Structure 1
C-alpha cells in the first residue's frame, strides 16, 4: 500500500500527485497497473541512501573529524585561512565539523536537491547558517571567482565518495576535477590517501558461488555433467560484496598474508592514473588451491598518516580486540581468480592487481612470465555468471538441497514417467532425464534457458524438451510428475517464488489429482529477532557527533512512508541476531488444493522480551514431498533448530525477508497480518 505524507522538506519538492504506472509483479510474472507517487523514485533514493548506517558509524565520523581538525590546524599554523570545500555534503555533517574546529570559510555542495535542502535546515538548526554556504550542484559544475559559487579556490577538501570497491563511485575523477579546478596547489585533502589490500584464499564455500558443479548420486554416479567451458569461465568483472567477518575461519584457508596491492593518492601531489596494474610477490603460508581474493581497503585521514580508518575483516584488522565497528556502506569483497592455481607452502606467488576508473580485478601466477591476457579484465563467455546471481549459483551447488531433489526423483520418477521441470536454472532437476521417459522444461528466462540447453546438449539428453511457448504447449503424453525448484530471477522476497504456482497455470492447464506435484506445500515462517546491528539501517539518527539531525530523520521517515515496503530482503547470515522465540508458521499454502485461493491469517508472536525486539525475519519453507513421512523440506531460513537467546544460523544461499521496526514503539505484544490473493498475485503483510 502506498501512503502519501506531505510536509516539511519533501513538500517543497514533490507535489501531491500520483499516476498509474506499470510494475512487474514478481509473483505472477505479469505487469500490473498500480497507483504510484509521481516522485516515487526520488523518495526511494532518499529512504535507501540516507536511512542507512553511515551516519551511525561513530568511528567513521570521529576519524573524519580528527582529519579535519589536523588539516585546519595545519593551515592556521602556516598563517593561512582554512577554506574548506565539502563535496557531497549530504546532511552537512562534515561541514559542521569544520566550523567546530575553526574553519574560516566553508562551501558545501550537494547535487540532490532534497538532501541539499535538508542540509540547509540542519545547518540552520545547529546555528551555522552564516558560516556554511550550501550549493545544490555537482562539484564538477561549481564555479570559482567573483560572484561565483566559490569566492576563491579552497585549500582543504573533505569528501566521502567511496564504496566497497573504493573507487566505484567515480572517486578518481571527482578528486582530479577538484584539484584541477577547485583547489589550491598546496591544499590538504581529507582523506589523504587510500590503500587496497588483497588476500589469496581457498574456500569450498566461496568456490560454490562461482563455478557450477556436476551432479552426482550418493553412489558417486555422474547424473548431470557441467561443460568444461563453464567450469573454466573467468566470470565477470563485478565484485561480490560481503560482510567477510561473518565467514567463519574454518570455511576458508588463508594461503598468503594480506598484501597492500594498490595505493591511491588523493592529495594531488602525484598524477591521477585511471588504468593501472601492479604485481606483488608473496610467500604461500600453506599448500592449497588458490580460488579467490578477499579485498578491503583503508583510508589515511591526515598528511602524516597517523589517523587510519580500516575496513579490514576482524582477522586482518590492525586494531581488532573484541568487536569492530559495523558498516554496511563499506563492506569487503570477493574477487574470483580467472583460473584456480595450485600453490605450495613457502613457494612464491605473484598477485596481479588491476583497476580502471571504476573497477578492480585480480590474477595469480606462479611465475613472472606474464602475457597481456594475464592483465585483462574477466568477461563471462559461458552465460552462467550473466544468467545467475552468486547466491543462485550457490543454491545450484548446495549439496543438501540437491540431495533432497534427487531423493524425490529416485522415489517418484521411473522409466515410464513424463516429468515437467519448473524454475530458473533447475540444474539438479535435469537428473530426471536419466530415469524418465520424457522431461519437459518450463524455463521462462532466456539467459537461463541458454545455459540449460548447453548442459542438456553436453549430456546428450535426447528426452528433454524445452517449452518455448507456454500458450502453444500441448504435451504429446500426459504429465504425471511436476518437479520444481521455486527460484526465479525476478524474485526478491522469499514468497515472490510463488511464481512457481502461477507459471504452472500459464500453461493453460491445471493438474488432476493423480499428478504428483513437488514441492507440494509452501509455509511462510516468521521469527522475532534481536539484531546486533542490522536494525541501524532503519533507526532514527536524532543526533550525530552532538549535532541535531531532526530534519534528516523527518525527511527519511516521510520518504520511507511513500516508497518502502513493510518487508525487505536481506541475506541474514551476514547480519547476526538472536532468536526471541521459536519460529512461527504464518501461512501454509497447499499447491494443488488451495494454491489458487486467498490465503489469509492474523496472529501474534509468543515471546516475553518484546522490548528487545528490533525486527522480524520471514522466510518460506518448501515441503518438497508432502506425502512422504520424511517431510523433505527445502528451507530458505534457519538451517539448524532455533534456540531462544542464541544466534540464528541462516541458509547462506538465500535472502530472507525482514521487517525492521525502526522508530515503532512496541507495547506488550507483536502482531501480524498476512494475506495472499492468488488471483491478483498480491501479498499484503503488516507487523504491528
Structure 2
C-alpha cells in the first residue's frame, strides 16, 4: 500500500514546505524523550478504508521509508534551476559575514547549506539553525547534510518554527531568515503566521531576509473554458435533458470553493482574452512583521470589451534588498523582457484563478471596474464592482436548507455542464432502465447527476443514493434538488446506514446499480482509484436482482506513449544542486532516470494537457479490462506491447480509465489526455527512449491488481 500513500503533518498551516504539497492525506506527529514517531494515514484505494501506520525513529541517521515522499513536489522544486539559482545569488549577496541564520521549512537543507557556505564552512563564529517539522524529511535532510560534509555546520531541529524557543532550541535570536514557505497563491503554507512568530520571538530587530519581498499581481480575463469550470447554472440551462442540478432559486446550494484555484494557465493561453493590464495588489515584506489581514481597492480600466469570467493571479519574489534578483510565477504572456523573465515549466508553483460568480461581469473598453482585494493569514480574495452593479451574488434558497453549500472541484462542475457528457450519461441510463417497469436503482458512488437522471427517465423509478464521500451534505442537497425537480419524496432516499445495513434492507431488490464512477476526494488521485466502484459492487452483490444491470458495464485501462520533455525535466534524478550533492534523495523522492537497478519511478496523477510540451507517439492501447457485471473473484493481469506511430523521444506512458457504460460498448466515457477535466496517470520510463517508428526500442507495459492485498494497481514497464 505504500506505493499509493501520502503523508502530511497534521499541523495544517505551519508545517512549512510540505503542507500544500501533501494536502490530500494527513498524518500526526508526536515526540517523547526516547523516540519520535509519525502516524501515517494510508488508504486502500478499492475500499476507501484508512488506517494509521506508526513510523518510529530511533536512529538519527535513518533514511525515510521509500515511497513516503515520492508523490510530493520536492523533486520538482529541486529541479527548478531558476529558483535555486535565484536563492543562491541572493543568499551569497545577503550573508557576507559570520552570523546566525534561521531556515524555516528546511526541506532537504539546500538553503541552509547555501547559507553555511556563504559564511565560510570552517568559521565557527557563524551558525545555521534549520527547522523542519516533517519527520521523514528531517531524516532525509540528515543524510544530505552528512553526504555534503555539512552536518556540523547546521543545527537541524525537528519542530515547527512556532515551537522554537530562544535559549532552548536557538542559542540566540537569528540575524538572517532564509525560507521558502510559499504556495501558488503565496500565503497558503502559512507564510504570514510563520513570519509573525519569527519576528516576535526568533529574529533580531531589523533582520536581513531572503526573500526580501513578495508582490502579488492579477489580471482580468475572459475565457469560456474557465467560465465552464464554475457556472453550472447557465451551462445546464442550455441543455435539453430536463435535469437541473442548479434550479432557479437554489443557486446557493451548489458551487466551487471560494478560493483561488492553482493551474497552468499557459496551457489555455489561446483560449484567454486579456481584459486589463496586470495590476499590482499586495506587497509582503519578509524583513518586517506582516499584518494578519489586509485590504485594498483598485480601479481597473478595461483595455477591450468583454466579459470578466475570471481573475488570474501570480506573484513575484524580490530576493535581495537592492532589487536585482527576482523570481516570478507569471504566465508566459507577461513581458519576457521584464526583470523576472521566463522560467522553466514546473509544477510546484502555478498561477491561480479566481472565478467570478455566475456568467461573469460585462465590461466595455475604457470602462472602469473596482476591484476590492482582501487577504487573511492564508488566502487572497477578490470582489468586483462595475460602475453599474455589483458582481452577481448568490440567490438565497427559498427552502429551509440551513447553511448547506455543497462544493465540488471546478473540473467536476465543468463535467456536469458538458453537453457530450450529459448526453452520454442520459443515453446510458435510459438503456439500462429500458424494459424495467418499476426499476429500483442504487447509486453507489458520489454522483449527483445519476440519481436525478434515473428519476427523470422513468416516472416509476425509485432511487437510493449512498454518496460515501459527500455523505450528509449530498443527502440534504439531493433531497432539496429532487423536490425542486418535481420528484415525489417517496421515490428518492439517501441511505444513511451504510453498505452492511443496505444488504439486509434490500436483498435481491435492486434492478439497477450505477455510478459515473466518481468518488469525492479522489480527484487528485490516480484515475484507476475509481475502481472502488467494482469493490463496492462486489460487496453489494447480494442486493442485486437476477436480471439486474450494472452501469458502467466494465472499466478499461488505456494508455499512450508520450513525449513529455518538460515533465521529465521536472522529475528527473538529481545530481548536484547549486554545488550540493542530492543524488541520494532520488529514490526517496520518486526520481526518474539513472535509478539503481530494481528501482522504478511511481505513477503520478497529472493533467497531461497542463504538463508543458507534449506529443503522442503511439496509438492508444488497452492494458487490461475489468468486468463490473461480475464480482471481483481474484487477481487481474494485463500486458501490451507499445506500437509507435511517430518519431521522437518517449519519456513516459500516459494511463487512464475508459468507462464502458453498456454491454454493447455503445457509450464509452473516456478520461484520456484529450479530455481536460480528468487527471491521467503518468508512468515515466527509467530512461527516455528514442523512437524512429521502424526499428524503435520496444516497450512492454504490464499491470496487475490484487484486491485481496492492498487494492493497488501495479504498473511496470520493460525496455528492450
TM range (shorter): 0.7 to 0.9
Aligned with 1:591 (options 621, 628, 650):
628
Report whether the alignment pairs 1:633 with 2:665.
no
The residue that corresponds to 1:687 in the other structure is 716
**CA 514–312 in structure 1, closer or farther in 2 if over 3 Å, else same:** same
Q: SS at the partner of 1:68?
A: helix
Quick check: 1:217–1:406 contact (8 Å CA) kept in 2?
no
CA RMSD of aligned residues (A): 4.3
Report whether the alignment pairs 1:571 with 2:604.
no
Q: Distance in 1 between matches of 2:515 and 2:431?
A: 15
* Runs of 5+ unmatched residues, structure 1: 4-12, 375-379, 640-650
Aligned with 1:285 (options 303, 310, 314):
303
Quote the offset at 1:681 in angstroms: 7.9
Q: Distance in 1 between matches of 2:51 and 2:139?
A: 33
The residue that corresponds to 1:451 in the other structure is 477
Quick check: 1:2–1:563 contact (8 Å CA) kept in 2?
no
Report whether the alignment pairs 1:69 with 2:100.
no
Q: Distance in 1 between matches of 2:43 and 2:157?
A: 38
Report whether the alignment pairs 1:52 with 2:78.
no
Encode CA deviations 1:225-260: one digit per residue, 9 max, x unaligned: 62335535675344321122222422x332322211
Aligned with 2:517 (options 486, 490, 500):
486
Quick check: 2:44–2:50 contact (8 Å CA) kept in 1?
yes
Quote the offset at 1:28 in angstroms: 3.8
Q: Distance in 2 between matches of 1:230 and 1:215?
A: 15
Quote the offset at 1:417 in angstroms: 5.7
Quote the offset at 1:494 in angstroms: 2.1
**CA 510–135 in structure 1, closer or farther in 2 if over 3 Å, else same:** closer
**CA 248–464 in structure 1, closer or farther in 2 if over 3 Å, else same:** farther
**CA 673–124 in structure 1, closer or farther in 2 if over 3 Å, else same:** closer
**CA 315–248 in structure 1, closer or farther in 2 if over 3 Å, else same:** same
Q: TM (normalized to structure 2)?
A: 0.77
Q: How does 1:396-545 map to 2 (within 5 A)?
A: 396-409=416-429, 413=433, 416=437, 418=439, 420=441, 422=443, 423-427=445-449, 430-436=452-458, 437-445=460-468, 446=471, 447-462=473-488, 464-466=491-493, 468=495, 470-474=502-506, 483-489=514-520, 491=522, 492-509=525-542, 515-536=548-569, 538-545=571-578
Q: How does 1:206-225 map to 2 (within 5 A)?
A: 206-213=226-233, 220=240, 222-224=242-244
The residue that corresponds to 1:336 in the other structure is 355
**CA 555–225 in structure 1, closer or farther in 2 if over 3 Å, else same:** closer
Report whether the alignment pairs 1:96 with 2:129.
no
Q: Distance in 2 between matches of 1:216 and 1:132?
A: 58
Q: SS at the partner of 1:224?
A: coil
Q: TM (normalized to structure 1)?
A: 0.80
Quick check: 2:67–2:588 contact (8 Å CA) kept in 1?
no
Quote the offset at 1:487 in angstroms: 1.3
Report whether the alignment pairs 1:653 with 2:677.
yes
Q: How does 1:61-210 map to 2 (within 5 A)?
A: 61-73=84-96, 83-102=100-119, 105-112=126-133, 115-116=137-138, 118-128=140-150, 131-144=153-166, 150=170, 152-210=172-230
Q: Distance in 1 between matches of 2:630 and 2:541?
A: 17
The residue that corresponds to 1:604 in the other structure is 641
Report whether the alignment pairs 1:390 with 2:413.
no
Residue range with higher mean Cα deviation, 271-280 or 654-663: 654-663
Encode CA deviations 1:452-475: one digit per residue, 9 max, x unaligned: 222111111127322525224449
The residue that corresponds to 1:9 in the other structure is none
The residue that corresponds to 1:377 in the other structure is none
Q: Distance in 1 between matches of 2:188 and 2:147?
A: 34
Q: Distance in 2 between matches of 1:439 and 1:285?
A: 54
Q: SS at the partner of 2:353?
A: strand
The residue that corresponds to 2:660 in the other structure is 623
The residue that corresponds to 2:29 in the other structure is none
Q: SS at the partner of 1:654?
A: coil
Q: SS at the partner of 1:53?
A: helix
Q: Distance in 2 between matches of 1:36 and 1:136?
A: 17
**CA 272–33 in structure 1, closer or farther in 2 if over 3 Å, else same:** closer
Report whether the alignment pairs 1:294 with 2:312.
yes
Q: Distance in 2 between matches of 1:259 and 1:571?
A: 29
**CA 351–126 in structure 1, closer or farther in 2 if over 3 Å, else same:** same
Q: How does 1:32-43 map to 2 (within 5 A)?
A: none
Quick check: 1:255–1:286 contact (8 Å CA) kept in 2?
yes
Q: SS at the partner of 1:247?
A: helix
Quote the offset at 1:318 in angstroms: 4.4
